[in-house]
Chains A and B, each alone.
Chain A
Amino acid sequence: EAQVTQNPRYLITVTGKKLTVTCSQNMNHEYMSWYRQDPGLGLRQIYYSMNVEVTDKGDVPEGYKVSRKEKRNFPLILESPSPNQTSLYFCASSLRDSRVDGYTFGSGTRLTVV
């Protein structure tokens, strides 16, 4: 089944403790992206990647890191999480031309930083 897999689904952590949210896709998509979704603010892009070893900042990149060493994986790293990073996170992927089939989203990771 074609899908984007995120782990973990739920995570509660403490301020300052480094964490990684994994994302993997099995559709051979070139483009991958991370979003956070907050009430009243909608989906905001954190980072995106056009292909292996190519990453760029989205609209809200502060406090986050990403890497794209393999085509299928695009982990999101929070080096020193803070409570304002409590949110629902989504990984998405698409073909290079996203007009074809749009984005495929993972099921989300609900992160709470206390």
Chain B
Amino acid sequence: QKEVEQDPGPLSVPEGAIVSLNCTYSNSAFQYFMWYRQYSRKGPELLMYTYSSGNKEDGRFTAQVDKSSKYISLFIRDSQPSDSATYLCAMLNTDKLIFGTGTRLQVFP
């Protein structure tokens, strides 16, 4: 079993929709959870990170962690075509990040 599981998509939604991206993980020791966004032909860039359980909001983006279920989510409100990218979840395990395989999101006008 992979340490981090993520649905690869693709997820295709109309502009303005609310998008939910999710990851599950198996290691209960993970404490720091991150979301990266990767545009085509670019490296991943950090979008948000959260510590332990709870919610964190930044503009149209909300990151949610449920440690009891080993489940993390990223919500995008009022999605825009510019949000079209691959979204990777990542979890910090001592000195390194463990990444999910990424979910490809397409937002069409």
Sort chain A's interface into a size bin: 20 to 34
With both beta carbons as reference points, the residue of chain B lying nearest to A43 in the complex is identified as: B99
Whether A108 contacts B49 by the Cβ 8 Å rule is no
B29: interface (CB < 8 Å): no
The number of residue pairs between A and B whose CB atoms lie closer than 8 Å in the complex comes to: 51
CA distance A1 to B45 in the complex (A): 15
The listed residue (B36, B43, B44, B97) touching A98 by CB distance below 8 A is: B97
The listed residue (A40, A42, A50, A99) touching B92 by CB distance below 8 A is: A99
The listed residue (B8, B41, B49, B101) touching A102 by CB distance below 8 A is: B49
Task: Identify the A interface with B (CB < 8 A).
Answer: 4, 31, 33, 40-43, 45, 48, 50, 58, 90, 92, 98-99, 101-108
Task: Identify the B interface with A (CB < 8 A).
Answer: 6, 8, 32, 34, 36, 41-46, 49, 51, 88, 90, 92, 95-97, 99-102
